[in-house]
Amino acid sequence: MLRASADAATVTPAARAGGRVRVPGDKSISHRYAMLAALADGESIVTGYSPGADCAATLACLRALGVSIRVMEAGTIVVAGRGVRGLAAPRAPLDAANSGTTLRLLSGILAAHSFTTTIGGDASLARRPMRRIIEPLTRMGARIDAVDGRPPLVIHGTSLRAISHAPEVPSAQVKGGVLLAGLQADGTTRVVEPAPTRDHTERALRAFGARVECRGLEVAVAGGQRLSGRRLEIPGDISGAIFWAALAAGTPGAEIEIPFVGLNPTRTAVLPVLRRAGATVDARVERDTHEEPAGTLRVEFKEPRSFNLEPHEVPGVIDEIPALAALAVMLPAGESFSVRGAAELRVKESDRITALVRGLLAIGAQVEEYEDGFAIESRPLTGGHVDAAGDHRLAMAFAIAATRATGPTTIAGASSVAVSYPGFFEELRRLTGAK
Ligand code: S3P
């Protein structure tokens, strides 16, 4: 089913899908555990660390900041903590590669270190908006230079003072960056979110022994707390699992089971959406590993039908929209899907509205693009040539949708899956029984 050339993959139609699949460790949790382990007193051992390129970029940046990190067998890292505000000045600019989370979270840490760091990344990252993190960190006392509010950032760190920050856009990266700066600041830093976002920074701070107060949309962290090295286990990434959930929900007769996947309530808003699309979804929390609930997710094809996303639901499913779009084009002809209030998608790893709409049109879908979303009316897919625009989630979404087409689909930029899910195409082949 799949021929991979330098950077393209070809997916052929699949009549069936099913099985059991473990997904790579959660990307959001991996970044945070590595960074907090670097700031802790003593050694941390983290298992289930994401094998993706984004999380490798975080490790490379931390090493350049003087942190000793040993990568043991797959997914296990041993980090020698340097203590809060204990990082060393890097000798060269830091490279966050494709990872917005690396750049925004590390900015909060670097703002409190009294040296200058330049941090940038690839062409995609260089287009992404950073004023949202520059502004609060500047108010805390750091000086940050950037052209047009975009990477690379030159961060002149210093002793920080606490602030109250009310971000305009819901963003866990911004909340996390400000809280990490707050941990190292004088006083108590508060973030009041416009809508709830994933709470991994709060949970990770607690896992490393810090006190964090959460009340409604407000999170507060007192500066001057120490962190302790820990042994931590990271569950699978629900944002990777969701592509298999979409495959199961859209393929007649399919059932896919994903064990030990993260089921943090700030990440599971996509599950009721899958149910609205007619799938049978069973998610059972089996353990709570260091503040992060995890369990088995089972998704079964049932009665696929039209579904929509309301604007208020968007922040809770922001990374899952490409997979939901893939499911939408797999629905029986005449069924539909629409999402509005999702303009944030335009400033992700790609402009996810334009690139998604173009790719789906190229395989024969009927899609209308809006400034802040898109609408799909399902009809039989032909397959064709699509461009993932270097975006891992689009490459995976196109691959899932392509399994329902009548002809083959070639995906340019398919190697981008390595950003979060290096073995994705091998698992797709296995789950669809393709040669
Ligand atoms: C993330 C937060 C989200 C998400 C990204 C990971 C995180 O970004 O899209 O993939 O780990 O904090 P924003 O904070 O920009 O919404």
Overall pTM surpassing 0.95 (yes/no):
yes
CA neighbor of 219 nearest in space, from 204, 232, 208 = 204
C-alpha 351 to ligand 1 mean position (Å): 15
C-alpha 230 to ligand 1 mean position (Å): 24
C-alpha 238 to ligand 1 mean position (Å): 13
pLDDT for the residue 5: 56
Read off the pLDDT of residues 332-388 as tens digits, 9 standing for 90 and up: 999 999 999 999 999 999 999 999 999 999 999 999 999 999 999 999 999 999 999
Q: Whose CA is nearest to atom 4 of ligand 1?
A: 319
The DSSP string of 255-295 is EEEEEEEE--TTT-THHHHHHHTT-EEEEEEEEEETTEEEE
Q: Whose CA is nearest to atom 15 of ligand 1?
A: 171
Read off the pLDDT of residues 383-413 as tens digits, 9 standing for 90 and up: 999 999 999 999 999 999 999 999 999 999 9
Between vectors from CA 212 to CA 420 and to CA 78, what angle results, nearest 5°?
45
Read off the pLDDT of residues 117-148 as tens digits, 9 standing for 90 and up: 999 999 999 999 999 999 999 999 999 999 99
The set of catalytic residues is 319
Is any atom of ligand 1 closer than 6 Å to the C-beta of 101?
yes
Buried-exposed string 22-50: b where 16+ CB fall within 10 A, e elsewhere: bbbbbbbbbbbbbbbbbbbeeebbbbbbb
Is any atom of ligand 1 closer than 6 Å to the C-beta of 9?
no
Mutate to test the pocket of ligand 1, among 191, 266, 292, 318 (most ligand atoms within 8 A of CB): 318
Read off the pLDDT of residues 208-243 as tens digits, 9 standing for 90 and up: 999 999 999 999 999 999 999 999 999 999 999 999
List Cα–Cα distances, 68 to 82, 106, 137, in angstroms. Answer: 9, 17, 27
What is the rounded distance in angstroms from the CA atom of residue 413 to the CA atom of residue 368? 23
Is any atom of ligand 1 closer than 6 Å to the C-beta of 410?
no
Q: Provide the mean pLDDT of the chain.
A: 97
C-alpha 172 to ligand 1 mean position (Å): 5
Structural domains for the chain: 2-25+236-432 (3.65.10.10), 27-233 (3.65.10.10)
Ligand 1 atom closest to 318 (CA)? 9
